[in-house]
């Protein structure tokens, strides 16, 4: 048996300096290059699929955003960036956001037909530097005020150090270019949008993406673990990530606090089903649910120990789960698990249940379909 550990190279990056990359004027720039018109767009690696009114909309590699009317064919949308999109969410039938690598956030106001870039990694780094510098000034003022008790002093000093660390990273990133992908996005309304990503990146907008606030320094994540997933049950907002990170927000993402995780491995997804049950799932077939808004969790045992990436409501009140190696599982309202594999064996990252109960899946091989699972 061999073992190798995943590496966090951002730490490596800190100790070494790179010559700034010289980019010629007409060189290819993935952030600003419009997505290639691709006949096989639905065969690109796709990461998420969501509903916008009657439409299904999926996003993925090479700036691909594809959409399908209720019973129509897939069409590729015009997208002003070629980055790998990792998540998409719509507030309603018209307004939606897609986020991806190189810190790119794009926005649509016409149900996904056209998209405009609202943020990219270079702008994000500038926002981060400004935010972290301001945060340092605030913390320094608190220290200088001399009004803090010893306990608070220690906390503030710790915070100061970690913000200095963030600022150093951001300044280095200014030279290197954006290396932190966004990994999930949630649109709570036409105005309030939150996007999270690698190494604890988190931004929030309250004006429909016109401006973004950096949340990194406000969420307690000193090890800079990845934020992988967001979900809401209408009142509470949840954030989950690497190494057992689990947070909750009661103010629509303005601030987050930690909650006790049922598992210390990585979560790849969060989902709130129609019964307002919160599902958290991730590495190696680990699936948990909570019926009390995250206060306590129960585990569902799957025999197939592969990563679980996404969930969706089934029409019988249960949920579908999808994961790596073609994993598809159905868990009914009473907790009975039925596991099958998509014949492709491809990694599946998201699922949409159609009115006829068939599944539209996305993942490594693009859009795949599967007939409704036979109920036991």
The residues of the shown chain that bind another protein, judged by CB under 8 A, are: 1-7, 9-10, 12-13, 16, 18, 21, 23-24, 26-28, 30, 33, 36, 38-40, 43-45, 47, 61-62, 82, 84, 86-87, 101-102, 176-179, 181, 183, 226, 228, 242, 265-266, 268, 283-284, 307, 309, 324-325, 345, 347, 349, 363-364
Residue at token pair 């690696």: 45
**Which CB atom, from 80 or from 177, has the smaller least distance to another protein?**
177
Work out how close the CB of 302 gets to another protein at its nearest, in angstroms, rounded to a whole number. 15
**Which CB atom, from 24 or from 71, has the smaller least distance to another protein?**
24
CA distance 158 to 72: 55
Residues of 232-266 as b/e, b for ≥16 C-beta within 10 angstroms?
A: beeebbbbbbbebbbbbbeebbeebeebebbbeeb
Work out how close the CB of 223 gets to another protein at its nearest, in angstroms, rounded to a whole number. 15
Work out how close the CB of 195 gets to another protein at its nearest, in angstroms, rounded to a whole number. 13
**Which CB atom, from 100 or from 253, has the smaller least distance to another protein?**
100
CA distance 10 to 1: 28
Work out how close the CB of 227 gets to another protein at its nearest, in angstroms, rounded to a whole number. 12
C-alpha distances (whole Å) from 26 to each of 22, 29, 32, 178, 304 are: 12, 8, 11, 20, 49
* Residues in contact with 292: Cβ distance below 8 Å, sequence separation at least 6, in sequence order: none
Work out how close the CB of 198 gets to another protein at its nearest, in angstroms, rounded to a whole number. 8
| Angle at alpha carbon of residue 96, lines to 94 and 99, rounded to 5° | 160
Work out how close the CB of 33 gets to another protein at its nearest, in angstroms, rounded to a whole number. 8
**Which CB atom, from 236 or from 348, has the smaller least distance to another protein?**
348
Work out how close the CB of 347 gets to another protein at its nearest, in angstroms, rounded to a whole number. 5
Work out how close the CB of 4 gets to another protein at its nearest, in angstroms, rounded to a whole number. 5
C-alpha distances (whole Å) from 251 to each of 97, 186, 227, 246 are: 21, 14, 18, 16
**Which CB atom, from 176 or from 233, has the smaller least distance to another protein?**
176
**Which CB atom, from 13 or from 80, has the smaller least distance to another protein?**
13
Query: Considering only CA atoms, which of 188, 206, 204, 208 is closest in space to residue 196?
Result: 204
Contact call for residues 118 and 79 (beta carbons, < 8 A):
no
Spatial strand order in the sheet of 105-108: 85-90, 96-100, 105-108, 116-119
Q: What is the DSSP letter of 284?
A: G
From start to end of 61-142, where are the E strands? Answer: 65-68, 75-76, 85-90, 96-100, 105-108, 116-119
**Which CB atom, from 111 or from 200, has the smaller least distance to another protein?**
200
**Which CB atom, from 178 or from 208, has the smaller least distance to another protein?**
178
CA distance 181 to 121: 8
The CB density around residue 217, as the number of other CB atoms within 10 Å, is 22
């Amino acid at each position: 048996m061999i073992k190798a550990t995943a590496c966090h190279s951002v730490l490596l990056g800190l100790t070494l300096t790179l010559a700034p990359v010289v980019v010629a004027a007409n060189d290819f720039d993935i952030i600003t290059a419009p997505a290639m018109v691709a006949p096989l767009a639905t065969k690109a690696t796709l990461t998420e699929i969501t509903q916008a009114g009657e439409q299904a909309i999926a996003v993925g590699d090479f700036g691909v955003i594809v959409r399908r009317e209720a019973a129509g064919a897939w069409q590729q949308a015009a997208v002003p960036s070629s980055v790998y999109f990792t998540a998409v969410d719509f507030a309603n039938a018209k307004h939606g956001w897609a986020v991806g690598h190189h810190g790119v956030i794009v926005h649509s106001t016409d149900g996904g037909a056209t998209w405009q870039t609202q943020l990219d990694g270079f702008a994000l780094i500038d926002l981060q530097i400004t935010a972290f510098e301001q945060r340092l000034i605030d913390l320094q003022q608190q220290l200088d005020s001399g009004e803090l008790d010893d306990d608070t002093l220690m906390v503030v000093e710790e915070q100061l150090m970690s913000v200095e660390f963030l600022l150093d990273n951001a300044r280095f990133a200014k030279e290197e270019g954006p290396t932190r992908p966004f990994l999930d996005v949630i649109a709570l309304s036409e105005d309030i949008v939150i996007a999270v990503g690698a190494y604890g990146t988190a931004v929030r907008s309250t004006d429909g993406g016109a401006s973004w606030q950096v949340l990194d320094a406000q969420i307690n994540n000193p090890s800079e673990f990845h934020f992988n997933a967001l979900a809401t049950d209408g009142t509470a907002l949840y954030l989950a990530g690497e190494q057992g990170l689990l947070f909750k927000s009661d103010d629509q993402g303005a601030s987050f606090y930690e909650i006790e995780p049922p598992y210390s491995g990585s979560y790849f997804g969060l989902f709130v089903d129609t019964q307002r049950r919160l599902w958290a799932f991730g590495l190696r077939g680990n699936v948990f649910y909570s019926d009390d808004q995250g206060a306590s969790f129960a585990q569902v045992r799957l025999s197939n120990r592969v990563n679980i990436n996404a969930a969706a409501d089934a029409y019988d009140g249960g949920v579908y789960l999808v994961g790596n190696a073609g994993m598809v599982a159905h868990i009914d309202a009473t907790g009975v698990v039925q596991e099958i594999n998509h014949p492709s064996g491809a990694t599946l990252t998201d699922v949409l249940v159609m009115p006829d109960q068939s599944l539209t899946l996305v993942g490594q091989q693009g859009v795949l379909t599967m007939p409704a699972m036979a109920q036991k």
